Amino acid sequence: MPPPELIGPQPPTTPGAIASRGSARAIPTDLLREASKRLAIMALMAAVLWILGTVLWHATWFYFHPGQPWRGLAAPDAIAAISAASSLGFFVYMRKPGRNPDPLLRVGLIYMVATCLAIALVMHVGLPTTESLQPQISWIGVVLLMFAAIVPVAPREMLVASLIGASMSPLAMMVTNVHGLAPLEALTTGMLMHYPDFLLAGVAVVISRVVTRLGQQVSKAREMGAYQLGDLLKRGGMGEIYKATHRMLARPAAIKLIRPEMLGAQDEDKGELTVKRFRREAEAAANLRCPHTVELFDFGVTDDQTLYFVMELLEGMDLESLVREHGPLPAARVIHILRQACESLEEAHSQGLIHRDIKPANIHVGRVGMQHDFVKVLDFGLVKSVKGERDGDSLATAVGRTPGTPAYMAPEMALGEQVDARSDIYALGCVAYFLLTGKLVFDAENTFQMVAKHLRNQPVPPSVRAGVEVSHALEDVVLSCLAKKPEDRPPSAAALSRSLDSINVAAWSQEQAADWWTRTQSASAAQ
């Protein structure tokens, strides 16, 4: 199967998470991955600078020594060439996908020390005279500060690595003996000469502590109740989805975050209304038990009023991705998917809940247990109740947000009229059209044109639009779902399911589904 679309476990104690001494809170793995990418870019820049610096040094030598013969390549040039090649190799090593960022960042500290050694050798092999022996800030100090700001490792590790890096100049002086000093004298002189680098090593530790604490604050901010957030997986119009895990049960989950301002709650009164309706609607969604409805584990509100839903882990992909990547689906598979979606909607409708945003991106298909092409309807967290409560507006409409997606919006919803189960039936008909043709029911240049076409235009039959043969019975069912008037559509999801079941098309079998997913997985692995 393709990798999970929503959530996989990311406990704070897993590899790839760095915590400072005395703190169990770790830096999120996605931040560590970003840091490893920055480290790779810095290695590439280092390779360029080694080459460019050497070329420019020789160019400036010719400028300041006109008429003198070229001195030829020297030991510093060889050191620069080796360092440039090593930096390029480190860049390639860091860019390989799928690596755990934690050991990569620690290898980065080794690379930092090696860079400091190369700089020290170039400095002292290139300046073997005693006139150069005076206190100075070298490029080693700059390197230490850059790594401290980019590589989020524990401060104690940065302390050890920075002290070793700063010691490279005195050690180079002692080992190479290029200044003609006794070994002990060279070491002492080197310590005094490069004391500014040791001071900058201390500054690097302070920077490292700041960077680590910022990462830990991000980790704390990502805690949602009993769940710990991991990698960001997806951004959408209503919020973001992160990997997560229950800190006690280690249960994999997905957390969708919705900030009140995304729903238009810009002031305190609207913010309170948003939270109130969120709790009411989340409780209603949590009571849905159909296996084809994504399971809602938990929900809540953080201290900063961020709303969150905790959902189950799903394997597979949404229908939007399925069609975009693999093209239109055969009629038998479309019927198989639609009937499962009908089961989910029928339960919700029976409890007075209308989804109002049925679209391919909100219908997931994949494997559950041993069943393939198992459908899960997503985003039941912002449903509308039609039971007639006094406070009956939905969360979205209560704060001024228009629900639904224009390409799948029923005419009555676009007009702001009363919606019921048949509004979801219309949207599901649009989904069926997309699955059969790979195209939207109507093409439009903007939202207003799209809404206008749903209000006035009659859809072109799927068989004509796609240019392929589609069962007349299936086409009639799909077009009936797309009727402008709600009373002309199937009266319920159950009725639509029965109509689909009566179509004389060979059923889509589990063997076909399993074979399709196996081939798709193999093709993805080969790429």
Would you name the residues annotated as active-site residues? 357
Handedness of CA 462, 464, 470, 471 (dihedral sign): positive
Q: Which residue has the tokens 């109130």?
A: 276
Task: Quote the Cα angle for 139-142-147, to 5°.
Answer: 125
The residue among 310, 222, 239 whose CA lies nearest residue 17 is 222
Residue 375 burial class via C-beta count within 10 angstroms: exposed 0-12, middle 13-18, buried 19 and up: buried
Q: Which amino acid is at 306?
A: T
Q: Token digits for 175?
A: 């080992």
Q: CB under 8 Å, gap of 24 or more: what pairs does 69-76 form?
A: 74/125, 74/126, 75/121, 75/125, 75/126, 76/121, 76/122, 76/125, 76/126
β-pair partners for 29? none
Stated as kind and residue range, the H or E segment containing 117 is helix 101-126
Helix 195-221 / helix 139-150 crossing angle, nearest 10 deg: 10
- Alpha-carbon distance of 331 to 503, in angstroms, equals 10
Q: Which residue has the tokens 């006794």?
A: 182
Q: Which residues of 449-507 form beta strands (DSSP E)?
A: none
Q: Residue 109: CB partners within 8 Å, gap ≥ 6?
A: 147, 151, 153, 157, 158, 161
Decide the pairing of beta strands 240-246 and 252-258: antiparallel
Stated as kind and residue range, the H or E segment containing 426 is helix 421-437
Query: 3-state SS of 132-193?
Result: HCCCCCCHHHHHHHHHHHHCCCCHHHHHHHHHHHHCHHHHHHHHHCCCCCCHHHHHHHHHHH
Q: Mapping DSSP to helix (H, G, I), strand (E, B) and coil, where does residue 363 land? A: strand
β-pair partners for 384? 354
Handedness of CA 194, 200, 204, 209 (dihedral sign): positive
232 secondary structure, DSSP code: E
